Structure 1
Amino acid sequence: MGIRWFARAVGLTSNPLRRRRDTVVAALVLGVLLIALVGVPVVAVVTGRASYEGSARAAEATAATRHQVVATVLTRPMAQAVVANPEVTAQRSTAEVRWVAADGAPRTGRAPVEPGTAVGAEVPLWVDAADRITAAPPTDDQLRAAAVGLALGVVVTGEGLCMVLLVAVRAAADALACRAWAREWEVVGPRWARQP
């Protein structure tokens, strides 16, 4: 079945019953399949890699302006509801904390802490160059996960578009074939009806 069947299916062999339209449709289908099997994965890998490299450079620049300090919890953690949408509500706890700035001066602020953290406990805290509380720079695992997610999104979108294109090509070819059959039948039909 292999190569001979494939060559016949895509119109590479001669066939007196094959119309020019069939050859064009076969070539279009082959082109879309090549894009789906080769092009889309290559684009996904290139996109994922570019995303990772760009994010890694940005994370490195961000990490250069932030540093971690040890802060002391001054108050009991307060739970705050974080509403992402009406059906999902997450809890986040914050507490007043104190840390020593780079210039040696004490600083205070509200920072996220684990629920149930005791007053006086020491917690890690990220601050920026101005000693303001900030988020930790993204980890390499987070950057890789984001890049893989983007690459998978490209694959799903690309393959979906290829499927839509295949369906559209087949639908257009079938519509053209039906119109051609209707025109042929207008010519041939009356002749058949007159025969006994």
Structure 2
Amino acid sequence: MGATRHRRPRAHLHPARWLGCRLRNGNPLRRGSDRAEGICALFAVLLLLVAVPVTILIGLNIAASRSSAAARERAERQPATAVLLANAPDSIGVAAADGAAGSVPVRARWHVGDQARTGTVYATPGLHRGAQVPIWLDHRGRPVAAPPSTTQVTMSSAGTGLGLLFAIVAGVGAAWLVLRWLLDRARLAAWEREWRRVNPHGNHWVR
């Protein structure tokens, strides 16, 4: 039977021990670059720990602000029903600022009190003439976008907060990778200088 190969076990340090080895003053193997790496790692961890509650507070503030704006819009706008005066196109066009996504502009008629008005509203593609479409009107009786619902405000605010948190994490991660690359280059250069000092002629070891 052939000889069994034994793999050399890989050393894995707990993150706390890894950090302690780089920050502890009594470590004889600690280099200046190790200490700088440990300090930056500690700063990055603290920054991420602070970023979580900060982004939560920012998200809550954004949600409160958007909820107030949506409440004002609901108070300033009123729902109504429009009757289409033409068939809605089958193809989805580009909705304007006051049109919902996936809707098409169609001529329609609606009432403001006892007064009938006509204009352009946005409806689902394929609707036929005479179909009733729910719309929202401003204080002048003109069609406007529907105010955002509570669910939309919550989802939008949560998305903003998560996006901010992801940007912070990505920025810290990118900075950490750049720092490690610079430190590794500095360590390699220091190792080469030390090797030249020990072996100035560049001789190879002979076994």
Q: TM-score, normalised by structure 2?
A: 0.76
Tell me the distance in 2 between the aligned counterparts of 1:164 and 1:2.
Answer: 22
Decide which of 113, 130, 149 is 1:120's aligned counterpart.
130
Tell me the distance in 1 between the aligned counterparts of 2:63 and 2:80.
Answer: 28
Structure 1 partner of 2:30:
18
Q: Which has the higher helix share?
A: 1
**Contact 2:90–2:126 (CA<8 Å) still a contact in 1?**
no
Q: 1:145 to 1:182 in 2, by over 3 A?
A: same
Tell me the distance in 2 between the aligned counterparts of 1:124 and 1:91.
Answer: 15
**Contact 1:79–1:94 (CA<8 Å) still a contact in 2?**
no
How many Å apart are 1:6 and its aligned residue?
A: 5.3
Q: Which has the higher strand share?
A: 1
Give the aligned residue type for 2:83: T
How many Å apart are 1:80 and its aligned residue?
A: 4.9
- Is 2:17 the counterpart of 1:5? yes
SS at match of 2:103: strand
- Is 2:63 the counterpart of 1:52? yes
State the structure with bigger RCO (CA 8 A, min sep 6), 1 or 2. Answer: 1
Counterparts in 2 of 1:22-171, with a 5 A limit?
22-36=34-48, 38-82=49-93, 92-102=103-113, 104-171=114-181
Uncovered stretches (5+) of structure 2, i.e. residues with no partner: 1-12, 96-100
SS at match of 1:23: helix
Q: Superposition RMSD on alpha carbons, in Å?
A: 2.9
Tell me the distance in 2 between the aligned counterparts of 1:3 and 1:75.
Answer: 68
- Runs of 4+ more than 4 Å apart: 1-4
How many Å apart are 1:130 and its aligned residue?
A: 0.7
Q: TM-score, normalised by structure 1?
A: 0.80
Q: 1:177 to 1:115 in 2, by over 3 A?
A: closer
